[in-house]
Amino acid sequence: MTLLEFRDILCSIKDVPVFHGKAHKAAEYIIWQEVGGGLGFEADGASAEGGMRIAVDFYTKAEYSDIPEKIAALLSGYDEICFDGPVIDYDEESGWTHYSFDAEVCGGG
């Protein structure tokens, strides 16, 4: 799976803007970015698998957003994606709730 294919998966969630690396804040939004270099291992001296570590962060001020559930359902629908999360953090001062997913994507990079 390529990074652009990964982006397109996130962009399939309706009515939530998706940004790469940095956000132009909206009512709620998703940011994704690469956080680790190529994953992989070698077999018989040749690269046998490749991939990337990607952080997916969702920010909202809604108390009961269904978007984190949609993100998890989307990511779990692909054999090329392994993920943990969400880890949930609420910032009382700003009122934003942050859902953090850590993903590993195998393939094209």
**Of the ranges 22-26, 46-50, 63-67, 77-81, which one carries the lowest mean pLDDT score?**
46-50
Question: What CA dihedral angle connects 81, 85, 86 and 89, to 10 degrees?
Answer: -140
Residue 68 has pLDDT above 60, yes or no: yes
User: How much of the chain exceeds pLDDT 90, in percent?
Assistant: 69
Strand extents, DSSP E, the chain:
18-20, 28-43, 46-60, 81-90, 97-106
